[in-house]
Amino acid sequence: MSRVAAIQMASGPSVSANLLEAARLIRNAAQAGAELIVLPENFAIMGVTEFDKVKISEQDGQGPIQDFLSQQAAKHGVWLVGGTIPLVANNPNKVRAACLLFNAKGERVARYDKIHMFDVRVEESGENYVESETIEAGDTTVVVDTPFGRLGLAVCYDLRFPELFRRLLDDGMELVAVPSAFTAITGKAHWETLVRARAVENLCYVVAAAQGGYHVGGRETHGDSMIVGPWGIVLDRLPRGSGFVSAEIDRGRLESMRRNFPSIQHRKLRCS
């Protein structure tokens, strides 16, 4: 068995301050025995405006945030899912919301660019979100071999699209990391339901790392970072505040469950 962790933060507009907090939480999770650690979406910056992240975007493969992730993974000897960071896009006025995976040597082994854009109006609060104004959508799913199993990557709003997770499942996914920053209202309504549903329907582990708290730009995020097992049971959770959750991944139990409860093999319809 292997221990995994999901980190929860309430990031602000200062990249340096956010990285200091992330380093502290990564250290704490590693000291608690975590071998795979997942950071939340936008862990390095939650700006006053949505365009703040465009100003600090990095070229793919170089930049202080990417260096930080590599160094932290190597320093603690852990696999690290770097939430999302803003990487340069084809459109100079936008970024790619890139989720980067580093191995325990600090080597980057995968990159997933968030596919689904959060372009919605939350009627209860009057909030408007138009991620497509500043984020260029990706178009490729990612599943990668790790010591903990076949790891899929998804980000926040992706949770609402089960066909994405079926694609990951068809590529052999056994656990999935979901860095997120759900709003307080949508999180209260749907976060736990969606995280547990993705675990149950795909018989997989879900490591969901969230932003949780109040942010300088006026946004409030839901938090409730959690790790959910393939039977839909919440193995650990953190409702609010900075910190981390951790749990053991048991691949033997996962294989047994999939063998004895073969709902995946019972599928009749397939996404094109």
Active site residues: 41, 114, 156
Q: Cα(223)–Cα(93) distance, rounded to whole angstroms?
A: 29
List of residues 6+ apart from 92 with CB closer than 8 A = none
Nearest to 37 by CA among 148, 193, 169, 156: 148
Q: Which of 216, 214, 218 is nearest to 242 (CA)?
A: 214
Which residue's structure tokens are 């999901």? 6
